């Protein structure tokens, strides 16, 4: 296998991963959505790693991966390992959850950042993402209107809350990013068939997003159970009271346990008095509480290493803006495997 073929296969696998983490689910595990996606992610990244280095097996000396992301990713993963070592409680859950996810995505981003850049490559990614969110938008509309009452579907799919991403909130976030992408592309497309197709997808994204968000308003059927931001901030501050937790956090899988110990009293007078949240409302607050200052700082170092990055290519500019838009969502929403996968793939292709 020559280097050009291996690079093409690695990029193709990254597209497969992006599609898989959005649409793949299966009732063969206790968690229909996370575990199948995580298994596919880990297996695909391992395969990508083997394919990437296959042409180099006979090379002397063995070539090193060169990337501007190499050092930030190294620091990020060192902090992940330190967090795992210092927090024994919930270690197994962390290993088979976010640790595996972040290590796999770090490898994927590093491999992608080592591939030759081209406008065609970036355009292919953007087209794949837009096609995926368009299908997701169409499914969301059908699920809210028709599919939830279809008796030929499995029982767990006969509900308005079903979505292949595993969460209506994640689906809404992806639809918002898809809408952002389609509107960005419209500025650079000629008034031909591609322009009107993209305009149609923008309309579909808008309708699906409005319908989904309307169902997620307080009191509606799909209203998410989220901590108030003030409660998330209160729990995070409590998590930073010791030097060790300030530096390395309380552990990736320990937010629910820590919440039961430091639950803000005002929640007892709300509808959340008996709720055990699995995460903070903001993913960045979640990072701060569970991985400490070092975890949050090394995570933010990944996108901020591109702070002064500039390109004359319209597609690369769209890619950069899409990455910042995804990071912006992490300020206000919990993270998820599909969103993190998109974020790391965007980083890798910048």
Query: Is residue 330 within 8 Å of residue 346, measured between CB atoms?
Result: no
Q: Does residue 238 lie within any of the structural domains?
A: no
Report whether 234 contacts 285 (CB < 8 A): no
In whole angstroms, give the CA distance from residue 216 to residue 214.
Answer: 5
The CB density around residue 313, as the number of other CB atoms within 10 Å, is 14
In a domain, 242, yes or no: no
Distance CA 139, CA 137 (A): 5
CA Rg value for the chain: 21
Within-domain flag for 214:
yes
pLDDT of amino acid 318: 92
Instruction: Please give the tally of structural domains in the chain.
Output: 1
Q: Which two three-digit tokens encode residue 188?
A: 């650079």
Q: In terms of DSSP H, where are the helices of the chain?
A: 3-23, 34-53, 70-86, 91-94, 100-113, 119-145, 168-186, 193-215, 229-239, 243-248, 255-262, 283-304, 314-332, 337-349
What does each of the 350 residues of the chain score in pLDDT, given as a tens digit? 677 888 889 999 999 999 999 999 887 777 788 889 999 999 999 999 888 887 766 655 555 566 788 899 999 999 999 999 998 888 888 888 899 999 999 999 999 998 888 888 999 999 999 999 999 999 999 999 999 988 888 888 899 999 999 999 999 999 999 999 999 998 887 778 888 899 999 999 999 999 999 999 988 889 888 888 989 999 999 989 889 889 999 988 889 888 888 888 888 888 888 888 888 999 999 999 999 999 999 999 999 988 877 777 888 899 999 999 999 999 999 999 999 999 999 999 98
Please indicate, yes or no, if residue 235 is contained in any of the structural domains: no
247 belongs to a structural domain: no
Structural domain of residue 41, as residue ranges?
Answer: 3-230+253-349
- DSSP 8-state class, residue 333: S
Q: Closest by alpha carbon to 285, among 340, 250, 233?
A: 233
Q: Are 179 and 209 in contact (CB under 8 A)?
A: yes
pTM, rounded to two decimals: 0.94
Task: List all residues 6 or more positions away from 318 whose beta carbon is below 8 Å from its beta carbon.
Answer: 126, 181, 184, 185, 188
In a domain, 146, yes or no: yes
- Whether residue 98 lies inside any domain: the answer is yes
Output the DSSP codes for 9-51. Answer: HHHHHHHHHHHHHHH---TTSSSTTHHHHHHHHHHHHHHHHHH
The answer to whether residue 248 sits within a structural domain is: no
């Amino acid at each position: 296998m020559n280097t050009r073929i291996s690079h093409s296969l690695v990029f193709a696998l990254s597209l497969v991963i992006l599609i898989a983490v959005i649409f793949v689910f299966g009732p063969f595990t206790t968690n229909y959505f996370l575990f199948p996606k995580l298994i596919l992610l880990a297996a695909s990244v391992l395969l990508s790693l083997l394919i990437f280095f296959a042409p180099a097996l006979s090379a002397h000396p063995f070539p090193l991966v060169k990337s501007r992301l190499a050092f930030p990713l190294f620091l990020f993963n060192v902090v992940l390992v330190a967090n795992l070592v210092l927090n024994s409680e919930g270690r197994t859950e962390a290993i088979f959850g976010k640790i595996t996810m972040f290590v796999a995505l770090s490898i994927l981003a590093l491999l992608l950042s080592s591939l030759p850049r081209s406008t065609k490559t970036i355009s292919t990614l953007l087209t794949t993402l837009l096609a995926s969110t368009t299908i997701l938008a169409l499914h969301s509309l059908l699920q809210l209107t028709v599919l939830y009452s279809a008796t030929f579907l499995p029982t767990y799919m006969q509900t308005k809350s079903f979505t292949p991403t595993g969460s209506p909130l994640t689906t809404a976030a992806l639809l918002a990013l898809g809408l952002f992408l389609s509107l960005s592309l419209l500025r650079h497309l000629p008034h031909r068939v591609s322009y009107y197709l993209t305009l149609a997808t923008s309309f579909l994204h808008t309708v699906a997003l409005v319908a989904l968000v309307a169902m997620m308003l307080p009191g509606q059927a799909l209203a998410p159970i989220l901590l108030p931001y003030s409660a998330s901030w209160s729990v995070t501050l409590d998590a930073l009271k010791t030097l060790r937790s300030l530096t390395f956090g309380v552990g990736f899988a320990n937010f629910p346990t820590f919440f039961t110990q430091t639950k803000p009293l005002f929640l007892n007078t709300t509808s959340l008095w008996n709720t055990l949240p699995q995460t903070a409302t903001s993913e960045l607050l979640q990072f701060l509480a569970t991985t400490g200052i070092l975890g949050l700082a090394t995570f933010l170092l990944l996108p901020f290493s591109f702070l002064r990055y500039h390109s004359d290519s319209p597609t690369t500019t769209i890619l950069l803006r899409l990455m910042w838009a995804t990071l912006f969502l992490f300020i206000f929403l919990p993270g998820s495997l599909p969103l993190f996968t998109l974020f790391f793939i965007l980083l890798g292709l910048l």
